[in-house]
Amino acid sequence: MLKVVIDTNVLVSALLKGNSPPAFILALLRKRMMTLCLSKAIFEEYRAVLDREKFRHIKEAATPLLLSIKKGGLLVEPKLRIDVITADPADNKFLECAQAAQADFLITGNTKHFPFKHFEDTRIVSPKEFIEYALALIIKTH
């Protein structure tokens, strides 16, 4: 099963735009077609961002999503501190998680903060790029 790390902006976009690549990714997660990998720091960021006043209109959807993530996600504890992203150093936690989980993909809507396409064995892709890959994989296996 594919292991993915998902940047917070992808989760927010999935809840804000129902018919979007991030929403499709969220649907794949809900159907347990891949494993979401996260660390405590990532989960806390998810919670803090989705709890912002400007997102109160999606709170009804955010609360069960966070519960589902906490229950069904693969919680990892990164052992190494990574400091390669300088544009937004807080994004390094996603690379730390990807490394600890040996994730296949890190999915982000903010690819300018991740100017490289790979980090060790993890591919860094946009939601649209991930869906193209996922669809090609589904077609190939059927």
Spans of all domains in the chain:
3-141
How far is 96 from 138, CA to CA, in rounded Å?
Answer: 28
**Which tens digit of pLDDT belongs to each residue from 76-117?**
999 999 999 988 899 999 999 999 999 999 999 998 888 899
Q: Which of 65, 58, 5 is nearest to 30 (CA)?
A: 65
In CATH, the number for domain 3-141 is 3.40.50.1010
Using CA atoms, how far residue 116 sits from 3, 78, 121, in Å, is: 19, 21, 12
How far apart CA 19 and CA 110 sit, in angstroms, is 19
What does pLDDT average to over the chain? 93
pLDDT score at 113: 85
**Residue 69's Cα: distance from chain center in Å?**
11
Task: List pLDDT tens digits, range 57-68.
Answer: 998 899 999 999
Confidence of residue 142 (pLDDT cuts 50, 70, 90): low
